[in-house]
Amino acid sequence: MNKLFIISFLLFNACAYQDPYFYDYIGKIKEYCLEYAEDTGNCDMIEMVSIRFADGKIIENGDNNIIAYCYSLDGIYIDKEYWDKSTELIREVLLLHEYGHCALHRGHNQETELGYIPKSIMFNPSGSTARFYLKDKDYYLDELFNGG
Ligand SMILES: [Zn+2]
């Protein structure tokens, strides 16, 4: 039993890869987690999820271009073209959304207030949440780390 645990732990770590470009973002998201999560047990997961720019791995889905993706065992892929033209606000919301999938195991939440204000950063597409996140960051961070 112990051996099995050690082997799977090594495999998991061996597979995790964070592009150094994202180190500061990873640190920031972990800080948010430690500040907002009532149960900080999942916060360590944030540093164990792989993250990198996509290399032709992001698929196009009908008329909806996928700009980032969380593959459960493979981590987060970000479309570099989208990233480069995005503001820091959009980037932060995008990463929070993807870590919501990959580290917190949350799915999408399409609920809205008044028909247009997303109730969660897990709203898809994540960019729709950005301007509301800017105004009500506390609410969205609390919902992300404690909701779902
Ligand atoms: Zn998503």
CA of 35 to the centre of ligand 1 (A): 23
Domain range holding 101?
17-146
What are the pLDDT digits (tens) for 30-59? 999 999 999 998 899 999 999 999 876 565
CA of 14 to the centre of ligand 1 (A): 25
**pTM for the predicted model, two decimal places:** 0.84
Phi, psi (rounded to 5 degrees) for 103: -105, -35
Q: What is the CATH number of the domain that holds 48?
A: 3.30.2010
User: Is 100 a member of any domain?
Assistant: yes
User: Is 131 a member of any domain?
Assistant: yes
- State the average pLDDT for the chain: 85
Q: Tell me the percentage of the chain whose pLDDT exceeds 70.
A: 81
CA of 5 to the centre of ligand 1 (A): 30
User: Is 6 a member of any domain?
Assistant: no
Give residues whose Cβ lies within 5 Å of ion ligand 1: 124
User: Is 9 a member of any domain?
Assistant: no
The residue behind tokens 């972990």 is 30
User: Is 119 a member of any domain?
Assistant: yes
State the total domains in the chain. 1
Q: Has residue 63 got a pLDDT over 60?
A: no
Alpha-carbon separation of residue 92 from 6, 25, 95, 139 (angstroms): 34, 8, 5, 15
Categorize the per-residue pLDDT at 73 as very low, low, confident or very high, splitting at 50, 70 and 90.
Answer: low
Q: Which one has a higher pLDDT value, 106 or 67?
A: 106
**What per-residue confidence (pLDDT) applies to 122?**
95
User: Is 10 a member of any domain?
Assistant: no
CA of 136 to the centre of ligand 1 (A): 20
